[in-house]
């Protein structure tokens, strides 16, 4: 997907190497809504699985459920499979969420594509913009990104026909990525449930013919 995005929207290879005249520079809000996480109370966090999982920046890379909360925040928003999630402290990497739904904690945000199949275009449009902010920020401790930075994001918006063709190719890829990650999570959970019972002899498999 990234190679295809670069070919079409950076190098303009399908257009004889020249940017089409009807493409226009616009802000990120033309293609995406940005949804910010809520300030859930840390005193209500637990690691025993009570309530719903809550996703913090540290959870984005592995996409595992580590922390849970019983709090129902009035401004709470649930991450869903396939959402584009970005941490706003330390490093700014966009991730395609590949786990079940969970609460979005503060300093984590979602770039929600405004059109149903435009996810890959949003993903690879924001990736270099986020990387630029990360590489140019100077801080004594941890670097941060916020709404002011997002407001300055500009993208080159192609015509609808080109975007639709790109979506036709990439939407099934996104769907396959998400489905594979969800299946991997389910299989890992099944393994972790069954393996201790097999090793303890609680489950007898001696009669199974292979």
Domain housing 120: 2-200
57: in domain: yes
101: in domain: yes
194: in domain: yes
Total structural domains within the chain: 1
pLDDT tens-digit readout, 65-123: 999 999 999 999 999 999 999 999 999 999 999 999 999 999 999 999 999 999 999 99
Please say whether the beta carbons of 151 and 36 come within 8 A. no
pTM of the model: 0.90
Rounded to an integer, what distance in angstroms lies between the CA atom of residue 190 and that of residue 196?
Answer: 11
pLDDT tens-digit readout, 106-116: 999 999 999 99
Rounded to an integer, what distance in angstroms lies between the CA atom of residue 19 and that of residue 12?
Answer: 6
Residue 175: its H or E element? helix 160-200
Rounded to an integer, what distance in angstroms lies between the CA atom of residue 205 and that of residue 45?
Answer: 39
How many other CB atoms are found less than 10 A from the CB of residue 192? 9
Q: Are strands 24-27 and 102-104 parallel, antiparallel or unpaired?
A: unpaired
205: in domain: no
The CATH number that applies at residue 188 is: 3.90.220.20
210: in domain: no
């Amino acid at each position: 997907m990234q190679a295809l995005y670069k070919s079409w929207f950076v190098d303009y290879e399908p257009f004889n190497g020249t940017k089409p005249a009807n493409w226009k520079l616009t802000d990120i809000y033309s293609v995406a809504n940005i949804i910010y996480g809520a300030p859930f109370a840390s005193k209500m966090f637990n690691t025993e699985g009570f309530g719903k999982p809550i996703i913090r920046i540290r959870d984005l890379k592995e996409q595992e459920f580590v922390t849970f909360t019983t709090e129902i925040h009035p401004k709470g928003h649930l991450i869903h499979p396939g959402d584009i999630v970005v941490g706003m402290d330390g490093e700014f990497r966009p991730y395609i969420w590949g786990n079940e739904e969970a609460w979005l904690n503060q300093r984590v945000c979602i770039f929600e594509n405004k059109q149903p199949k435009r996810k890959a275009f949003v993903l690879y449009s924001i990736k270099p913009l986020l990387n630029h902010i990360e590489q140019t920020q100077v801080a004594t401790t941890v670097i941060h990104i916020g709404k002011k930075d997002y407001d300055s994001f500009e993208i080159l918006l192609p015509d609808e026909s080109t975007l639709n063709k790109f979506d036709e190719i990439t939407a099934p890829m996104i769907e396959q990525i998400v489905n594979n990650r969800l299946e991997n999570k389910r299989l890992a959970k099944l393994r972790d449930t069954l393996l201790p019972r097999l090793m303890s002899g609680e489950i007898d498999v001696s009669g199974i013919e292979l």
